[in-house]
Amino acid sequence: MSHESKDAIIIGSGHNSLICALYLLRAGWSVRVLEQAGSPGGAVKTSELTKPGFHHDWAAMNLSNFRNSAFYADFGEALEVRGAEFAHAEHCFASVYDDGSWFGVGTDREANLARVKALSEQDTKTWRALSDGFDARAGVIGGLMGSPMKWTALAGLGWSALRQFGWGGSLELARFCLSSPRDWLGRTFESDKIRAALAPWGMHIDYAPDIASGAIFPYLEAFGDQAGGMWLGRGGSGTIIAAMVAEIEAQGGTVECSAEVTRIIHEGGRARGVELADGRSLESGTVIANVAPGALARLTGGTGTAHYDAGLAEFRHAPGTVMIHLAVSDLPDWSAGPELREYAYVTIAPTLDVMARAYQQPLAGLLPEEPVVVVGQPTAIDPSRAPEGQHTLWLQVRMVPGEIAGDAAGEITATDWDGALAPFAERVLDLVERHAPGLRGRVLGMRCVSPLDLEADNPNLVGGDQVCGSHHLSQNAIFRPVRGYSDGTTPIDGLYHTGAAVWPGASTGGGPGTLLGKMLT
């Protein structure tokens, strides 16, 4: 084993790894980050995927949770010195409908209310009430999602909720947190269009309309965007990765790419270091693995604790994703109105039933007949990502099967992604063209990314699962990734687990890395 020893070795260079590394370095630790890919960042990175000069976000685009995170409050000033830059979106997200209309949410509360009023007088009153109560309610929900799953922290949050809302209000808040998007949206809003505009934000985190506890995400996105807008990375989401790597190196840490870890060395119930594919062995008494649970099981060869090892083996991944990156000569001409060209996101998911089918069909292994398509328009907010006057589009299809059993529409015969990706991409573009005629004529370059491409680039995205594991109630909170280990500990002393598979799960906010970094220091 190498005599070069570090206080901590971190496997993987996703943003949670880099966040954790910075907390450790601030506390005086020596840290080495090892990344199997040729560049750092995991699912958060930017590159010229189509044509020179067109900068595309590989997976994550929305950096609001990062910009508003506890980590950024601690390290934001240092990262800005290292070059992290953000672009602020005032027109955040919108949805288009089959009748040619649209509904959108931005930072102008009165403009939002006017759009709500055009759909429902009753919903106007509801929207105003939800807006007025957002800060207090979101404070409790955000506190929960940013706290370790320990009784002391939970008791403190419960007491805070009781002081603010009383017993009745606290029980209603608990009911809301357990509700599915359809349940909460159905009893809250009269307009089907408002319901359909908010519900897709559950789909981003594996909460289809009928999945319990998914109501939180449409609520937080809609009213959080109204309160503060949306943040994108200037030049691409990779700006935060470059800044964190630069700060790590400035503090004496190292980030080494093309360095694949093949084994975590442990003896007598204690971590000793890692072995790499190039034959090196590196010594450390603290190993932090930002890997999917299945990969952690393989790297350790088993921890010897039956409950934990079984939990890793049983960990369930969410359905996959297809990404379509476009370089275009101009933004889409949305039939519903030219105002849509100003929005960071335009979603094509006209009803909750369409979303439910687009989720259930991939669960059955079927390519969805009418997929949910999120059209990101980053250059509407940040023109620096493309040559002057030209644009990039970021199309995310949620959800698709990682392994194809068939096609719900009965049109695509291929049952492997090599054969199915091109015709499925045409289905997606047909759907976008239905709402933005002439888009194909503006395409200068295209890069289609299948679920298997996503996994090949980043093994944490198993089957193209961009959130590294289902967040449903049975695999969240105290059960993420395994009951008793939601704080990132493992049965092996000195071995820790971080990343989206660990509470509080997937988000650019970096909660798992922040909580672990603070716990260790």
Whole-number pLDDT of residue 24: 98
**Helix, strand, coil percentages for the chain (3-state, nearest 5):** 45, 20, 40
Average confidence (pLDDT) per 10 residues, the chain, 521 residues? 74 98 98 98 97 98 97 98 98 98 98 98 98 92 86 75 85 92 98 98 96 96 98 98 98 98 97 97 97 98 97 97 98 98 98 98 98 98 98 97 98 98 98 98 98 97 96 95 97 98 96 98 96
Neighbours of 473 (CB within 10 A): 13
**363: phi then psi, degrees, rounded to nearest 5:** -60, -30
Whole-angstrom distance, CA of residue 53 vs CA of residue 383: 11
User: Of 364, 449, 348, 372, nearest to 408 (Cα)?
Assistant: 364
Q: How many CB atoms lie within 10 A of CB 360?
A: 16
Contact assessment for residue 495 and residue 1, using Cβ atoms and an 8 Å cutoff? no
Can you list the domains of the chain with their CATH numbers?
A: 8-38+257-316+467-520 (3.50.50.60), 44-67+86-107+319-461 (3.90.660), 125-228 (no CATH)
Global confidence as pTM: 0.96
pLDDT for the residue 4: 60
What are the Cα distances from residue 294, in Å, to 302, 314, 318, 375, 456? 10, 9, 14, 32, 15
